[in-house]
Amino acid sequence: MKGKLGSRRVRILVVDPEDWCRDFLTSVMRLCGLQEFTMVASAAEAMQALEESAFDLLIADHHLAEQQRLLESCRHRDPTMRFIVMLQRRSQTSRMVYLEHTDYVFKPLSLDEIVRKIRDAIHQKNLHRAEEELRRLKQTAFRILG
């Protein structure tokens, strides 16, 4: 299934305890033409969703991600998964561990900024997929050619 922001099917998991934030991000996903997203309110619900499906992008509130070690669990499942962490205050960045493939946004969310961050994360994930496919095709060609 294609969305306006990517040429491949993209699955997004959003984890935030606040209804307004999940509602806003639902509207953003629909506006961007993204159809495969899951909204949950807790880290426990996120862990359940991760057991049931694979995701390309996790958008999570900083407190949930930190308390449940959600990011580390996701990274263990898929080292190429992209993250967008939502922070309440800029001062929280000094306490954050900067993880590979992670971007940060500040609440209240800006439509332009969150769309740009989602687009960039999807682009990077698709680029990684294309590189992996090219690597696989090269290995196959070398085996065939001997």
Say whether pLDDT at 2 is over 70. Answer: no
**Residue 87 domain flag:** yes
Domain range for 118 is 12-145
Residue 68 has pLDDT above 70, yes or no: no
pLDDT digits (tens, 9 = 90+) for 89-135: 665 555 555 567 788 899 999 999 999 999 999 999 999 889 999 99
Q: Does residue 100 form part of some domain?
A: yes
d(CA 93, CA 136): 38
Q: Is the pLDDT of residue 142 over 80?
A: yes
Q: What is the pLDDT of residue 72?
A: 85
Structure token digits, residue 99:
């993880």
Could you identify the residue written with the tokens 């989602």? 118
* CATH number, domain with residue 118: 3.40.50.2300
Residue at 95 is within a domain: yes
- Nearest CA to 28 out of 46, 45, 16 is that of 16
SS3 143: helix
Q: What is the number of domains present in the chain?
A: 1
19 found inside a domain: yes
